[in-house]
A and B are shown apart, each in its own frame.
Chain A
Protein backbone atom coordinates (compact mmCIF):
# COMPACT_ATOMS: atom_id res chain seq x y z
CA UNK A 1 0.00 0.00 0.00
CA UNK A 2 1.09 3.57 -0.74
CA UNK A 3 1.73 6.07 2.00
CA UNK A 4 -1.06 8.64 2.19
CA UNK A 5 0.62 10.66 4.89
CA UNK A 6 4.35 11.02 5.45
CA UNK A 7 5.30 13.06 8.47
CA UNK A 8 8.93 13.78 9.25
CA UNK A 9 10.42 15.78 12.13
CA UNK A 10 7.16 17.67 12.54
CA UNK A 11 7.31 20.54 15.03
CA UNK A 12 4.70 22.79 16.54
CA UNK A 13 5.13 25.36 19.33
CA UNK A 14 2.67 27.42 21.23
CA UNK A 15 4.02 30.73 22.40
CA UNK A 16 2.72 33.06 25.03
CA UNK A 17 4.52 36.21 26.10
CA UNK A 18 6.78 34.39 28.52
CA UNK A 19 6.60 30.71 27.78
CA UNK A 20 7.04 28.56 24.72
CA UNK A 21 5.34 25.16 24.90
CA UNK A 22 6.36 22.37 22.57
CA UNK A 23 3.25 20.64 21.22
CA UNK A 24 4.98 18.45 18.61
CA UNK A 25 8.60 17.57 18.92
CA UNK A 26 10.29 16.14 15.82
CA UNK A 27 7.44 13.73 15.25
CA UNK A 28 7.87 11.23 12.45
CA UNK A 29 5.44 8.58 11.17
CA UNK A 30 3.57 7.42 8.05
CA UNK A 31 -0.02 6.42 7.42
CA UNK A 32 -0.79 4.18 4.51
CA UNK A 33 -3.89 4.38 2.32
CA UNK A 34 -6.73 2.33 3.82
CA UNK A 35 -5.15 2.18 7.24
CA UNK A 36 -7.06 2.79 10.51
CA UNK A 37 -4.71 4.48 12.97
CA UNK A 38 -5.50 5.40 16.55
CA UNK A 39 -3.47 8.09 18.30
CA UNK A 40 -3.43 7.92 22.09
CA UNK A 41 -1.75 9.71 24.89
CA UNK A 42 -2.43 11.81 27.97
CA UNK A 43 -4.03 15.26 27.71
CA UNK A 44 -1.61 17.83 26.36
CA UNK A 45 0.63 15.30 24.60
CA UNK A 46 -0.04 16.95 21.25
CA UNK A 47 -2.42 14.46 19.64
CA UNK A 48 -5.12 17.02 18.80
CA UNK A 49 -2.47 19.39 17.45
CA UNK A 50 -1.27 16.60 15.23
CA UNK A 51 -4.79 15.89 14.03
CA UNK A 52 -5.32 19.61 13.23
CA UNK A 53 -2.15 19.67 11.17
CA UNK A 54 -3.07 16.48 9.32
CA UNK A 55 -6.52 17.98 8.76
CA UNK A 56 -4.90 21.08 7.27
CA UNK A 57 -6.55 23.25 9.89
CA UNK A 58 -3.23 24.32 11.34
CA UNK A 59 0.30 24.91 10.08
CA UNK A 60 3.38 23.14 11.46
CA UNK A 61 6.34 25.27 12.61
CA UNK A 62 8.91 22.83 11.24
CA UNK A 63 9.39 19.51 9.53
CA UNK A 64 7.70 17.98 6.54
CA UNK A 65 4.13 16.83 5.91
CA UNK A 66 3.47 15.08 2.64
CA UNK A 67 -0.16 14.37 1.82
CA UNK A 68 -0.78 12.12 -1.18
CA UNK A 69 2.68 12.84 -2.45
CA UNK A 70 2.42 16.63 -2.11
CA UNK A 71 4.31 18.67 0.47
CA UNK A 72 1.58 20.65 2.17
CA UNK A 73 3.49 22.29 5.03
CA UNK A 74 3.47 25.98 4.20
CA UNK A 75 0.29 25.91 2.07
CA UNK A 76 -1.78 29.07 2.39
CA UNK A 77 -5.29 28.98 3.78
CA UNK A 78 -6.96 28.92 0.40
CA UNK A 79 -4.94 25.95 -0.86
CA UNK A 80 -5.46 24.14 2.41
CA UNK A 81 -9.23 24.72 2.20
CA UNK A 82 -9.34 23.36 -1.34
CA UNK A 83 -7.34 20.28 -0.49
CA UNK A 84 -9.35 19.73 2.67
CA UNK A 85 -12.78 19.93 1.17
CA UNK A 86 -12.02 17.33 -1.50
CA UNK A 87 -10.04 14.88 0.56
CA UNK A 88 -10.75 15.03 4.27
CA UNK A 89 -13.79 14.43 6.43
CA UNK A 90 -13.95 15.35 10.12
CA UNK A 91 -15.76 13.83 13.08
CA UNK A 92 -15.58 15.70 16.39
CA UNK A 93 -16.26 14.75 19.99
CA UNK A 94 -18.86 17.51 20.31
CA UNK A 95 -20.40 16.72 16.89
CA UNK A 96 -20.14 20.35 15.73
CA UNK A 97 -23.30 20.43 13.72
CA UNK A 98 -24.73 23.82 12.70
CA UNK A 99 -27.70 24.37 14.95
CA UNK A 100 -29.59 26.49 12.43
CA UNK A 101 -29.53 23.80 9.75
CA UNK A 102 -31.54 20.59 9.60
CA UNK A 103 -29.95 17.16 9.47
CA UNK A 104 -30.30 17.12 5.69
CA UNK A 105 -28.84 20.62 5.31
CA UNK A 106 -25.91 19.88 7.58
CA UNK A 107 -24.96 16.85 5.53
CA UNK A 108 -25.49 18.74 2.29
CA UNK A 109 -23.15 21.59 3.26
CA UNK A 110 -19.79 20.03 2.19
CA UNK A 111 -21.30 19.21 -1.22
CA UNK A 112 -22.31 22.87 -1.62
CA UNK A 113 -18.77 24.01 -0.93
CA UNK A 114 -17.35 21.50 -3.42
CA UNK A 115 -19.78 22.75 -6.06
CA UNK A 116 -21.84 19.60 -6.55
CA UNK A 117 -25.03 20.19 -8.57
CA UNK A 118 -28.32 20.24 -6.60
CA UNK A 119 -29.71 17.07 -8.18
CA UNK A 120 -26.53 15.11 -7.40
CA UNK A 121 -26.45 16.58 -3.93
CA UNK A 122 -29.91 15.31 -3.14
CA UNK A 123 -29.03 11.82 -4.31
CA UNK A 124 -25.82 11.66 -2.35
CA UNK A 125 -27.23 13.12 0.85
CA UNK A 126 -30.10 10.69 0.79
CA UNK A 127 -27.77 7.78 0.13
CA UNK A 128 -25.53 8.61 3.02
CA UNK A 129 -28.44 9.32 5.38
CA UNK A 130 -29.89 5.91 4.53
CA UNK A 131 -26.53 4.33 5.16
CA UNK A 132 -26.27 6.02 8.55
CA UNK A 133 -29.86 5.04 9.30
CA UNK A 134 -30.86 8.59 10.04
CA UNK A 135 -33.04 9.32 7.02
CA UNK A 136 -36.21 9.48 9.14
CA UNK A 137 -34.70 12.43 10.99
CA UNK A 138 -33.69 14.38 7.89
CA UNK A 139 -35.85 17.41 8.66
CA UNK A 140 -34.98 17.67 12.33
CA UNK A 141 -32.62 20.20 13.83
CA UNK A 142 -29.56 18.97 15.77
CA UNK A 143 -31.05 19.96 19.15
CA UNK A 144 -33.93 17.60 18.47
CA UNK A 145 -31.62 14.58 18.23
CA UNK A 146 -29.91 12.36 20.79
CA UNK A 147 -26.11 12.45 21.08
CA UNK A 148 -25.76 9.19 19.17
CA UNK A 149 -27.97 10.46 16.38
CA UNK A 150 -26.04 13.71 16.21
CA UNK A 151 -22.78 11.82 15.84
CA UNK A 152 -24.29 9.73 13.06
CA UNK A 153 -25.19 12.96 11.27
CA UNK A 154 -21.64 14.21 11.85
CA UNK A 155 -20.23 11.02 10.37
CA UNK A 156 -22.64 11.29 7.45
CA UNK A 157 -21.45 14.82 6.85
CA UNK A 158 -17.81 13.67 7.06
CA UNK A 159 -18.26 10.97 4.43
CA UNK A 160 -20.74 12.58 2.04
CA UNK A 161 -17.94 13.86 -0.18
CA UNK A 162 -16.31 10.41 -0.31
CA UNK A 163 -13.12 11.68 1.33
CA UNK A 164 -9.96 9.64 1.18
CA UNK A 165 -9.26 10.39 4.82
CA UNK A 166 -11.46 10.67 7.88
CA UNK A 167 -10.11 12.37 10.97
CA UNK A 168 -11.97 11.59 14.14
CA UNK A 169 -11.26 13.52 17.32
CA UNK A 170 -12.58 11.57 20.33
CA UNK A 171 -15.66 10.52 18.31
CA UNK A 172 -17.25 8.65 21.19
CA UNK A 173 -16.28 11.05 23.96
CA UNK A 174 -19.77 12.47 24.36
CA UNK A 175 -21.65 9.22 23.86
CA UNK A 176 -22.78 6.31 26.03
CA UNK A 177 -21.14 2.96 25.35
CA UNK A 178 -23.90 1.61 23.12
CA UNK A 179 -23.96 4.68 20.87
CA UNK A 180 -20.15 4.79 21.04
CA UNK A 181 -19.93 1.24 19.74
CA UNK A 182 -22.30 2.10 16.90
CA UNK A 183 -20.11 4.99 15.83
CA UNK A 184 -16.96 2.86 16.00
CA UNK A 185 -18.74 0.26 13.92
CA UNK A 186 -19.54 2.94 11.33
CA UNK A 187 -15.91 4.05 11.17
CA UNK A 188 -14.76 0.47 10.81
CA UNK A 189 -17.19 -0.08 7.95
CA UNK A 190 -15.94 3.04 6.20
CA UNK A 191 -12.38 1.86 6.65
CA UNK A 192 -13.33 -1.53 5.27
CA UNK A 193 -14.60 0.26 2.18
CA UNK A 194 -11.16 1.83 1.70
CA UNK A 195 -11.29 5.10 3.58
CA UNK A 196 -8.23 5.89 5.65
CA UNK A 197 -9.16 6.73 9.26
CA UNK A 198 -7.05 8.52 11.84
CA UNK A 199 -8.65 8.72 15.24
CA UNK A 200 -7.54 10.48 18.40
CA UNK A 201 -8.90 8.78 21.48
CA UNK A 202 -8.47 8.22 25.19
CA UNK A 203 -10.37 4.97 25.03
CA UNK A 204 -8.39 1.72 24.82
CA UNK A 205 -11.63 0.04 23.85
CA UNK A 206 -12.10 2.28 20.81
CA UNK A 207 -8.45 2.06 19.90
CA UNK A 208 -8.81 -1.67 19.51
CA UNK A 209 -10.93 -1.08 16.42
CA UNK A 210 -7.81 0.34 14.67
CA UNK A 211 -4.93 -1.40 12.89
CA UNK A 212 -2.24 0.49 14.67
CA UNK A 213 -1.98 2.58 17.85
CA UNK A 214 0.52 5.42 18.03
CA UNK A 215 1.13 6.45 21.62
CA UNK A 216 2.41 9.95 22.21
CA UNK A 217 3.97 11.83 25.13
CA UNK A 218 5.19 15.41 25.25
CA UNK A 219 4.91 15.91 21.50
CA UNK A 220 6.62 12.82 20.25
CA UNK A 221 5.86 9.22 19.52
CA UNK A 222 6.76 6.82 22.32
CA UNK A 223 5.45 3.48 21.08
CA UNK A 224 3.58 2.00 18.21
CA UNK A 225 1.35 -1.07 18.67
CA UNK A 226 0.40 -2.92 15.56
CA UNK A 227 -2.89 -4.73 16.14
CA UNK A 228 -3.51 -6.24 12.74
Chain B
Protein backbone atom coordinates (compact mmCIF):
# COMPACT_ATOMS: atom_id res chain seq x y z
CA UNK B 1 0.00 0.00 0.00
CA UNK B 2 1.45 3.32 -1.05
CA UNK B 3 0.55 6.20 1.18
CA UNK B 4 0.12 9.54 -0.42
CA UNK B 5 2.06 12.38 1.11
CA UNK B 6 -1.23 14.18 1.54
CA UNK B 7 -2.56 13.44 5.03
CA UNK B 8 -6.04 11.95 5.09
CA UNK B 9 -9.00 14.03 6.19
CA UNK B 10 -9.12 14.88 9.88
CA UNK B 11 -12.69 13.65 10.06
CA UNK B 12 -11.28 10.16 9.85
CA UNK B 13 -11.08 8.09 12.99
CA UNK B 14 -8.76 5.49 14.38
CA UNK B 15 -9.95 2.43 16.25
CA UNK B 16 -8.09 2.42 19.54
CA UNK B 17 -8.44 0.97 23.02
CA UNK B 18 -6.46 3.44 25.05
CA UNK B 19 -4.01 6.31 25.13
CA UNK B 20 -1.50 5.88 27.91
CA UNK B 21 0.42 8.82 29.25
CA UNK B 22 3.67 8.61 31.13
CA UNK B 23 4.52 5.31 29.55
CA UNK B 24 8.02 4.10 30.44
CA UNK B 25 8.18 0.84 28.53
CA UNK B 26 7.45 1.78 24.95
CA UNK B 27 10.66 3.25 23.62
CA UNK B 28 13.15 5.80 24.90
CA UNK B 29 12.08 8.18 27.67
CA UNK B 30 8.70 9.10 29.07
CA UNK B 31 6.23 8.61 26.24
CA UNK B 32 2.58 8.71 25.31
CA UNK B 33 1.41 5.43 23.82
CA UNK B 34 -1.60 4.98 21.56
CA UNK B 35 -2.94 1.43 21.54
CA UNK B 36 -4.63 0.56 18.25
CA UNK B 37 -7.15 -2.24 18.27
CA UNK B 38 -6.90 -5.22 15.97
CA UNK B 39 -4.02 -7.64 15.46
CA UNK B 40 -3.14 -10.14 12.76
CA UNK B 41 -1.09 -12.30 15.09
CA UNK B 42 -2.45 -14.34 17.97
CA UNK B 43 0.36 -14.87 20.42
CA UNK B 44 -0.72 -17.42 22.99
CA UNK B 45 0.77 -15.35 25.82
CA UNK B 46 -0.70 -11.99 24.73
CA UNK B 47 -1.08 -9.66 27.69
CA UNK B 48 -3.37 -7.22 25.88
CA UNK B 49 -6.10 -9.62 24.74
CA UNK B 50 -8.54 -6.76 24.26
CA UNK B 51 -6.44 -5.42 21.37
CA UNK B 52 -6.59 -8.63 19.30
CA UNK B 53 -10.05 -8.44 17.77
CA UNK B 54 -10.67 -5.64 15.32
CA UNK B 55 -14.26 -5.44 16.52
CA UNK B 56 -15.49 -3.60 19.57
CA UNK B 57 -15.87 -5.72 22.70
CA UNK B 58 -17.44 -5.28 26.08
CA UNK B 59 -15.61 -6.50 29.14
CA UNK B 60 -17.49 -7.47 32.27
CA UNK B 61 -16.05 -7.54 35.76
CA UNK B 62 -18.40 -9.68 37.86
CA UNK B 63 -16.82 -8.57 41.10
CA UNK B 64 -17.89 -4.98 40.56
CA UNK B 65 -21.47 -5.75 39.52
CA UNK B 66 -24.07 -4.84 42.13
CA UNK B 67 -26.98 -6.30 40.20
CA UNK B 68 -28.85 -3.02 39.88
CA UNK B 69 -30.14 -3.80 36.39
CA UNK B 70 -29.36 -0.43 34.81
CA UNK B 71 -27.57 -2.18 31.92
CA UNK B 72 -30.68 -4.15 31.08
CA UNK B 73 -32.75 -1.02 30.85
CA UNK B 74 -30.53 0.61 28.22
CA UNK B 75 -29.47 -2.43 26.15
CA UNK B 76 -31.08 -2.20 22.69
CA UNK B 77 -30.89 -5.98 22.31
CA UNK B 78 -32.07 -6.76 25.84
CA UNK B 79 -29.05 -8.94 26.49
CA UNK B 80 -28.57 -8.11 30.15
CA UNK B 81 -31.01 -9.66 32.53
CA UNK B 82 -31.18 -9.66 36.28
CA UNK B 83 -32.57 -12.96 37.45
CA UNK B 84 -33.31 -14.14 40.91
CA UNK B 85 -31.97 -17.58 40.09
CA UNK B 86 -29.62 -19.16 37.58
CA UNK B 87 -31.11 -19.53 34.17
CA UNK B 88 -30.35 -21.30 30.87
CA UNK B 89 -26.91 -22.58 29.96
CA UNK B 90 -25.65 -20.27 27.23
CA UNK B 91 -24.81 -17.60 29.70
CA UNK B 92 -21.52 -16.12 30.70
CA UNK B 93 -20.82 -13.91 33.63
CA UNK B 94 -23.37 -14.95 36.17
CA UNK B 95 -23.01 -13.31 39.49
CA UNK B 96 -24.66 -13.70 42.79
CA UNK B 97 -25.08 -10.41 44.51
CA UNK B 98 -27.21 -9.02 47.21
CA UNK B 99 -29.99 -7.15 45.59
CA UNK B 100 -30.77 -3.59 46.66
CA UNK B 101 -33.98 -5.09 47.95
CA UNK B 102 -33.24 -7.03 51.07
CA UNK B 103 -33.44 -10.79 51.18
CA UNK B 104 -33.25 -11.29 47.44
CA UNK B 105 -30.39 -12.58 45.32
CA UNK B 106 -29.77 -11.18 41.91
CA UNK B 107 -27.77 -12.80 39.15
CA UNK B 108 -26.54 -10.78 36.25
CA UNK B 109 -26.96 -12.77 33.07
CA UNK B 110 -25.55 -11.55 29.83
CA UNK B 111 -25.67 -13.06 26.35
CA UNK B 112 -22.19 -11.95 25.39
CA UNK B 113 -22.23 -13.70 22.01
CA UNK B 114 -24.96 -11.45 20.70
CA UNK B 115 -23.46 -8.23 22.01
CA UNK B 116 -22.96 -5.50 19.39
CA UNK B 117 -20.63 -3.51 21.64
CA UNK B 118 -22.66 -0.35 21.22
CA UNK B 119 -21.41 0.72 24.64
CA UNK B 120 -24.70 1.93 26.06
CA UNK B 121 -24.58 -0.39 29.05
CA UNK B 122 -20.99 0.67 29.67
CA UNK B 123 -22.07 4.27 29.85
CA UNK B 124 -24.98 3.49 32.13
CA UNK B 125 -23.39 1.05 34.57
CA UNK B 126 -22.88 3.01 37.79
CA UNK B 127 -20.45 0.47 39.20
CA UNK B 128 -18.11 0.56 36.18
CA UNK B 129 -18.46 -3.21 35.98
CA UNK B 130 -18.73 -2.98 32.20
CA UNK B 131 -15.94 -1.65 30.03
CA UNK B 132 -15.84 -0.91 26.33
CA UNK B 133 -12.75 -2.11 24.51
CA UNK B 134 -12.35 -0.21 21.28
CA UNK B 135 -13.46 3.28 20.39
CA UNK B 136 -13.50 5.14 17.10
CA UNK B 137 -11.69 8.31 18.07
CA UNK B 138 -11.20 11.15 15.64
CA UNK B 139 -7.61 11.72 14.59
CA UNK B 140 -7.67 15.33 15.67
CA UNK B 141 -8.64 14.25 19.18
CA UNK B 142 -5.84 11.68 19.36
CA UNK B 143 -3.47 14.30 18.04
CA UNK B 144 -4.52 16.70 20.81
CA UNK B 145 -3.99 14.04 23.48
CA UNK B 146 -0.55 13.21 22.11
CA UNK B 147 0.49 16.86 22.09
CA UNK B 148 -0.39 17.13 25.77
CA UNK B 149 2.76 15.29 26.76
CA UNK B 150 4.90 17.91 25.08
CA UNK B 151 3.01 20.64 26.89
CA UNK B 152 3.38 19.12 30.37
CA UNK B 153 6.72 17.36 30.25
CA UNK B 154 9.83 19.30 29.37
CA UNK B 155 11.72 16.03 28.88
CA UNK B 156 8.94 14.40 26.90
CA UNK B 157 10.23 11.36 25.02
CA UNK B 158 7.64 11.28 22.26
CA UNK B 159 4.70 9.27 21.02
CA UNK B 160 4.55 5.52 20.42
CA UNK B 161 1.97 3.88 18.21
CA UNK B 162 1.32 0.40 19.49
CA UNK B 163 -1.47 -2.12 19.69
CA UNK B 164 -2.55 -4.67 18.54
CA UNK B 165 -0.87 -4.13 15.22
CA UNK B 166 -0.97 -0.40 14.66
CA UNK B 167 0.06 -0.74 11.01
CA UNK B 168 -3.25 -2.41 10.21
CA UNK B 169 -4.39 1.21 10.43
CA UNK B 170 -1.36 2.54 8.60
CA UNK B 171 -3.20 5.51 7.10
CA UNK B 172 -4.09 6.75 10.54
CA UNK B 173 -0.61 6.09 11.88
CA UNK B 174 0.87 7.97 8.95
CA UNK B 175 -1.41 10.95 9.48
CA UNK B 176 -0.74 11.17 13.22
CA UNK B 177 2.98 10.55 12.83
CA UNK B 178 3.36 13.29 10.25
CA UNK B 179 1.57 15.69 12.60
CA UNK B 180 3.96 14.70 15.40
CA UNK B 181 6.97 15.13 13.15
CA UNK B 182 5.81 18.62 12.21
CA UNK B 183 5.87 19.49 15.92
CA UNK B 184 9.29 17.95 16.38
CA UNK B 185 7.97 15.07 18.49
CA UNK B 186 9.75 11.75 18.22
CA UNK B 187 7.67 8.90 16.79
CA UNK B 188 8.01 5.20 17.57
CA UNK B 189 6.04 2.56 15.73
CA UNK B 190 5.59 -0.70 17.62
CA UNK B 191 4.91 -3.43 15.08
CA UNK B 192 5.31 -7.17 14.58
CA UNK B 193 6.04 -6.62 10.86
CA UNK B 194 3.66 -9.34 9.70
CA UNK B 195 2.60 -7.05 6.88
CA UNK B 196 3.24 -6.39 3.20
CA UNK B 197 6.51 -4.48 2.89
CA UNK B 198 4.74 -1.57 1.19
CA UNK B 199 2.81 -0.86 4.37
CA UNK B 200 5.96 -0.65 6.44
CA UNK B 201 7.67 1.44 3.80
CA UNK B 202 4.73 3.83 3.84
CA UNK B 203 5.45 5.05 7.37
CA UNK B 204 9.26 5.05 7.05
CA UNK B 205 9.51 8.75 6.37
CA UNK B 206 7.63 9.75 9.53
CA UNK B 207 9.07 7.24 12.00
CA UNK B 208 12.15 7.81 14.13
CA UNK B 209 12.34 4.36 15.65
CA UNK B 210 10.69 1.04 14.99
CA UNK B 211 10.01 -1.24 17.94
CA UNK B 212 9.86 -4.62 16.27
CA UNK B 213 8.33 -7.48 18.23
CA UNK B 214 10.02 -10.78 17.66
CA UNK B 215 8.17 -13.79 18.96
CA UNK B 216 10.25 -16.80 18.07
CA UNK B 217 13.21 -17.81 15.92
CA UNK B 218 12.07 -21.12 14.45
CA UNK B 219 9.27 -21.04 11.96
CA UNK B 220 7.57 -24.04 13.55
CA UNK B 221 7.57 -22.53 17.01
CA UNK B 222 6.24 -19.32 15.54
CA UNK B 223 3.46 -21.14 13.76
CA UNK B 224 2.53 -23.11 16.84
CA UNK B 225 2.28 -20.21 19.28
CA UNK B 226 1.54 -17.22 17.08
CA UNK B 227 -0.52 -18.79 14.32
CA UNK B 228 1.66 -17.94 11.32
CA UNK B 229 5.21 -18.67 10.23
CA UNK B 230 7.81 -15.96 10.61
CA UNK B 231 9.41 -15.80 7.15
CA UNK B 232 7.77 -12.58 6.12
CA UNK B 233 8.58 -10.99 9.49
CA UNK B 234 12.27 -11.87 9.24
CA UNK B 235 12.45 -10.66 5.68
CA UNK B 236 10.81 -7.36 6.57
CA UNK B 237 13.09 -6.94 9.55
CA UNK B 238 16.16 -7.43 7.37
CA UNK B 239 14.98 -4.78 4.96
CA UNK B 240 13.89 -2.43 7.68
CA UNK B 241 17.20 -2.47 9.54
CA UNK B 242 18.87 -1.24 6.35
CA UNK B 243 16.62 1.80 6.26
CA UNK B 244 15.58 2.80 9.79
CA UNK B 245 16.60 2.66 13.44
CA UNK B 246 15.11 -0.38 15.15
CA UNK B 247 14.82 -1.97 18.55
CA UNK B 248 13.91 -5.62 18.58
CA UNK B 249 11.74 -6.63 21.52
CA UNK B 250 11.33 -10.25 22.50
CA UNK B 251 8.76 -11.36 25.06
CA UNK B 252 10.52 -14.30 26.66
CA UNK B 253 8.28 -17.20 27.62
CA UNK B 254 9.80 -20.16 29.40
CA UNK B 255 9.78 -23.36 27.37
CA UNK B 256 8.71 -21.53 24.22
CA UNK B 257 11.48 -19.20 23.11
CA UNK B 258 14.14 -19.55 25.79
CA UNK B 259 15.43 -22.92 24.60
CA UNK B 260 18.86 -23.29 23.04
CA UNK B 261 17.55 -23.99 19.53
CA UNK B 262 15.23 -21.04 19.72
CA UNK B 263 17.87 -18.62 20.92
CA UNK B 264 20.23 -19.92 18.25
CA UNK B 265 17.62 -19.34 15.55
CA UNK B 266 16.87 -15.83 16.79
CA UNK B 267 20.58 -15.02 16.91
CA UNK B 268 20.89 -16.23 13.32
CA UNK B 269 18.17 -13.84 12.26
CA UNK B 270 19.52 -10.92 14.28
CA UNK B 271 23.20 -11.47 13.49
CA UNK B 272 24.61 -9.12 10.90
CA UNK B 273 21.65 -6.78 10.92
CA UNK B 274 23.92 -3.79 10.81
CA UNK B 275 24.27 -0.63 12.81
CA UNK B 276 20.68 0.46 12.67
CA UNK B 277 19.60 -2.32 14.99
CA UNK B 278 20.18 -0.23 18.10
CA UNK B 279 18.95 -2.42 20.89
CA UNK B 280 17.52 -5.79 21.80
CA UNK B 281 15.03 -5.71 24.66
CA UNK B 282 14.13 -8.93 26.38
CA UNK B 283 10.79 -8.75 28.13
CA UNK B 284 9.81 -11.21 30.83
CA UNK B 285 6.50 -12.98 30.46
CA UNK B 286 3.97 -11.67 32.96
CA UNK B 287 0.36 -12.31 33.88
CA UNK B 288 -0.84 -8.74 34.30
CA UNK B 289 -3.36 -9.26 31.50
CA UNK B 290 -5.39 -11.78 33.48
CA UNK B 291 -8.19 -9.43 34.61
CA UNK B 292 -8.72 -8.51 30.97
CA UNK B 293 -9.06 -12.14 29.95
CA UNK B 294 -11.55 -12.63 32.74
CA UNK B 295 -13.48 -9.55 31.66
CA UNK B 296 -13.64 -10.96 28.13
CA UNK B 297 -15.02 -14.20 29.48
CA UNK B 298 -12.05 -16.37 28.57
CA UNK B 299 -9.32 -18.10 30.51
CA UNK B 300 -5.79 -16.86 30.23
CA UNK B 301 -3.45 -19.49 28.79
CA UNK B 302 -0.83 -20.15 31.43
CA UNK B 303 2.86 -19.83 30.72
CA UNK B 304 5.90 -19.35 32.86
CA UNK B 305 8.53 -16.66 33.04
CA UNK B 306 12.18 -17.65 32.62
CA UNK B 307 14.03 -17.85 35.95
CA UNK B 308 16.95 -15.59 36.78
CA UNK B 309 19.58 -18.08 35.66
CA UNK B 310 17.92 -18.43 32.29
CA UNK B 311 17.65 -14.65 31.99
CA UNK B 312 21.36 -14.22 32.62
CA UNK B 313 22.20 -16.90 30.13
CA UNK B 314 20.04 -15.27 27.47
CA UNK B 315 21.61 -11.93 28.15
CA UNK B 316 25.03 -13.43 27.52
CA UNK B 317 23.87 -15.19 24.36
CA UNK B 318 22.25 -12.12 22.84
CA UNK B 319 25.30 -10.00 23.62
CA UNK B 320 27.09 -12.08 21.03
CA UNK B 321 25.28 -10.04 18.39
CA UNK B 322 27.28 -7.03 19.48
CA UNK B 323 24.08 -5.08 19.96
CA UNK B 324 23.05 -3.45 23.25
CA UNK B 325 20.88 -5.98 25.10
CA UNK B 326 18.74 -5.39 28.18
CA UNK B 327 16.00 -6.98 30.21
CA UNK B 328 13.06 -4.70 30.57
Q: Do A and B come from the same complex? A: no
Residues of A within 8 A of B (CB): none
